[in-house]
C-alpha cells in the first residue's frame, strides 16, 4: 500500500460529458465534507509511507483558499516518501498566484490540467473554456515555481469533429511541451447532458484514424506511448496510474472513491448525506484468486510494455498461459507478442484491445 487517491467532488460548473461523482461547489457542503474526509482517513489509514498521492475530482482547484489550506492540512496525516509523486487536478482558470503558493507549500510536484481541446466547436460541446495564450502563461507560472511534471488532458472523437481539428489540437498541445499527455476518446455516459441530448458517436473508422494520428504524432515528438491512452516524455510516466495498471493496492478516500486493500476492492457511496453520516462504503468485495488474475491480465495489458510473465508466476504460483489457454493461440496469430519476458498486445493492435481481452478471458 503505497498510493492514495483523494476525491474532491466539487465543481464550479458541471460539464456536459462528465459522469464522475460531482456536485456544485457550495461552501457549507465543502466544510462538512472535509471534516468527514478527515474522519475517513483517520479511521482507515494504517500509516504506510506513500510513493504517490493524487487529488482528483470533480475539480479540486475550485476550492476557496481557506478550503484548500484545510484540505492540505488534512493530507498532512499521510506519511510521504521524500520523492512521493504528489498530484492535483485543476482547471486552467484556477491557476493563480495564491493557488501556486498553496500547492508548492503543501509539496505538490505534479499538476494535471483538464484542457480537452482548443477548438471552439469542441469546447461548446463539452461546455468548457480553454485559451491557448492563457494556458501558455499558466504553464510558465507553474514552471517558474519548479513544477515541471505537468499533464494535459486531450479529448478527441467529439461529435462532428474532423481529423484536421484534432491535428490542430495536437500542434498546440505539443507547442506547450507538457511532460505528459493523457488522451481520451469521448465516451457518452448515461445521465450526462450529452446522453440526454441523444448525442451520437463519430464513425469507428474515424475514431481509429484519430487514435493512429495521436500515437504517430506524439511518438515522433519524443513521447513514450506507455499505456493505451497515455504518453510521457521519458521519466515522466505517471507513477500513480502505473500502480493501478500493475494491479497494485491503493487507498481511495472521499465521495465515490474506489480502493483496493488487503485483497478487497471497495467503492465509497456517492450519496453526500450517507458519506457525511460516516457510512463511507457502498461496496466491499473480496477478490478471489481468479479475480486477481483476471484483473492482472486486464490492467497489465493496457501497458504497452505488458505483463512480466515471471512476476505473474511469483504472485500467483501459476503460469499465465495455463490460466488463460487462449494466450498461445493469440501469440501464434500475432494479437499478442512475447518479448524480453513480457507478454503484450502489439501497438498496431492496441486499439482493439478490449476485443482481444474478452476473447482471451
Report the pLDDT value the prediction gives residue 20, as an integer from 0 to 100.
67
- Grid cell digits, residue 285: 468485495
In this structure, the answer to whether residues 238 and 299 fall within a common structural domain is: no
Report the pLDDT value the prediction gives residue 46, as an integer from 0 to 100.
96
Question: Could you tell me the pLDDT band of residue 351, with boundaries at 50, 70 and 90?
Answer: confident
**Total of domains in the chain:** 2
In this structure, the answer to whether residues 239 and 308 fall within a common structural domain is: no
Q: Is residue 223 part of a domain?
A: yes
CB 361 within 8 A of CB 324: yes
In this structure, the answer to whether residues 165 and 76 fall within a common structural domain is: yes
Report the pLDDT value the prediction gives residue 195, as an integer from 0 to 100.
78
Instruction: Measure CA 216 to chain center.
Output: 22
In this structure, the answer to whether residues 124 and 217 fall within a common structural domain is: yes
Q: Please identify, among 179, 214, 244, the residue that sits at the C-terminal boundary of a domain.
A: 244
In this structure, the answer to whether residues 95 and 237 fall within a common structural domain is: yes
Residue 21 scores a pLDDT above 80: no
Residue 12 scores a pLDDT above 80: no
Residue 288 scores a pLDDT above 80: yes
Q: Which backbone phi and psi does 219 adopt, to 5 degrees?
A: -65, -40
The DSSP element (H or E) to which 231 belongs, if any, is: strand 230-232
Q: Is residue 227 part of a domain?
A: yes
In this structure, the answer to whether residues 85 and 230 fall within a common structural domain is: yes
The DSSP element (H or E) to which 353 belongs, if any, is: helix 353-360
Q: Is residue 211 part of a domain?
A: yes
In this structure, the answer to whether residues 239 and 293 fall within a common structural domain is: no
Report the pLDDT value the prediction gives residue 187, as an integer from 0 to 100.
80
* Number of Cα atoms under 13 Å in the Cβ half of residue 28: 1
List all residues 6 or more positions away from 275 whose beta carbon is below 8 Å from its beta carbon: 33, 36, 255, 268, 269
Tell me the residue range of the domain where 344 lies. Answer: 289-361
CB 129 within 8 A of CB 12: no
In this structure, the answer to whether residues 209 and 358 fall within a common structural domain is: no
Q: Is residue 85 part of a domain?
A: yes
Q: Is residue 355 part of a domain?
A: yes
Q: What is the 3-state secondary structure (H, E, C) of 124-160?
A: HHHCCCCCHHHHHHHHHHHHHCCCCEEEEEEEECCCC
* pLDDT tens-digit map of 177-214: 999 999 999 887 777 777 787 888 889 999 999 999 99
CATH number at residue 342: 1.10.10.920
Across the range 119-123, mean pLDDT stands at 93
- Grid cell digits, residue 34: 472535509
Q: Percentage of the chain surpassing pLDDT 70?
A: 98
In this structure, the answer to whether residues 217 and 294 fall within a common structural domain is: no
* pLDDT tens-digit map of 69-82: 999 999 999 999 99
Q: Is residue 196 part of a domain?
A: yes
Q: What is the Cα–Cα distance from 152 to 182, expressed in whole angstroms?
A: 6
DSSP state for residue 337 in the 8-state scheme: E
CATH number at residue 79: 3.80.30.20
- Total-model pTM: 0.93
Q: Please identify, among 244, 276, 299, the residue that sits at the C-terminal boundary of a domain.
A: 244
Question: Could you tell me the pLDDT band of residue 251, with boundaries at 50, 70 and 90?
Answer: very high
In this structure, the answer to whether residues 200 and 304 fall within a common structural domain is: no
Least reliable range by pLDDT among 92-96, 131-135, 162-166, 197-201: 197-201
Q: Is residue 262 part of a domain?
A: no
Q: What is the Cα–Cα distance from 169 to 171, expressed in whole angstroms?
A: 5
In this structure, the answer to whether residues 206 and 300 fall within a common structural domain is: no
Averaged confidence pLDDT in the chain: 93
Helix (H, G, I), strand (E, B) or coil at 287: coil
Q: Percentage of the chain surpassing pLDDT 90?
A: 84
Question: Could you tell me the pLDDT band of residue 18, with boundaries at 50, 70 and 90?
Answer: low
In this structure, the answer to whether residues 134 and 210 fall within a common structural domain is: yes
Q: Is residue 266 part of a domain?
A: no
Q: Please identify, among 211, 244, 277, the residue that sits at the C-terminal boundary of a domain.
A: 244
Q: What is the Cα–Cα distance from 230 to 37, expressed in whole angstroms?
A: 30
Amino acid at each position: 500500500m503505497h498510493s492514495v487517491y483523494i476525491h474532491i467532488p466539487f465543481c464550479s460548473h458541471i460539464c456536459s460529458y462528465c459522469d464522475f461523482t460531482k456536485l456544485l461547489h457550495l461552501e457549507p457542503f465543502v466544510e462538512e465534507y472535509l471534516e468527514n474526509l478527515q474522519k475517513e482517513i483517520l479511521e482507515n489509514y494504517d500509516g504506510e509511507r506513500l510513493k504517490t498521492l493524487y487529488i482528483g475530482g470533480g475539480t479540486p482547484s475550485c476550492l476557496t483558499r481557506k478550503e484548500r489550506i484545510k484540505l492540505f492540512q488534512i493530507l498532512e496525516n499521510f506519511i510521504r516518501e521524500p520523492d512521493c509523486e504528489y498530484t492535483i487536478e485543476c482547471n486552467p482558470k484556477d491557476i493563480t498566484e495564491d493557488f501556486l503558493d498553496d500547492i508548492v507549500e503543501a509539496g505538490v510536484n505534479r499538476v494535471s490540467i483538464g484542457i480537452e481541446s482548443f477548438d471552439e466547436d469542441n469546447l461548446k460541446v463539452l461546455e468548457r473554456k480553454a485559451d491557448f495564450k492563457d494556458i501558455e502563461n499558466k504553464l510558465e507560472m507553474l514552471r517558474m515555481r519548479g513544477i515541471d511534471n505537468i499533464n494535459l488532458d486531450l479529448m478527441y472523437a467529439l461529435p462532428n469533429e474532423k481529423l484536421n481539428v484534432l491535428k490542430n489540437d495536437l500542434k498546440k498541445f505539443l507547442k506547450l511541451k507538457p511532460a505528459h499527455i493523457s488522451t481520451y476518446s469521448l465516451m457518452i455516459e448515461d445521465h450526462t447532458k450529452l446522453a440526454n441530448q441523444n448525442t451520437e458517436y463519430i464513425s469507428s473508422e474515424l475514431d481509429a484514424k484519430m487514435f493512429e494520428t495521436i500515437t504517430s504524432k506524439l511518438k515522433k515528438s519524443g513521447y513514450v506511448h506507455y499505456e493505451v491512452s497515455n504518453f510521457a516524455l521519458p521519466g515522466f510516466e505517471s507513477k500513480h496510474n502505473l500502480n493501478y495498471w500493475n494491479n497494485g493496492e491503493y487507498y481511495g478516500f472521499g465521495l465515490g472513491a474506489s480502493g483496493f486493500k488487503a485483497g478487497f476492492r471497495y467503492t465509497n457511496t456517492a450519496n453526500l448525506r450517507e458519506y457525511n453520516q460516516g457510512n463511507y462504503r457502498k461496496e466491499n468485495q473480496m477478490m478471489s484468486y481468479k479475480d486477481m488474475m483476471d484483473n492482472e491480465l486486464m490492467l497489465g495489458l493496457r501497458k504497452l510494455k505488458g505483463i512480466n510473465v515471471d512476476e505473474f508466476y511469483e504472485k500467483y504460483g501459476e503460469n499465465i498461459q495455463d490460466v488463460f489457454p487462449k494466450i498461445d493461440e493469440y501469440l501464434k496469430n500475432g494479437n499478442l507478442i512475447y518479448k524480453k519476458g513480457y507478454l503484450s498486445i502489439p501497438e498496431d493492435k492496441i486499439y482493439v484491445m478490449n476485443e482481444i481481452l474478452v476473447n482471451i478471458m
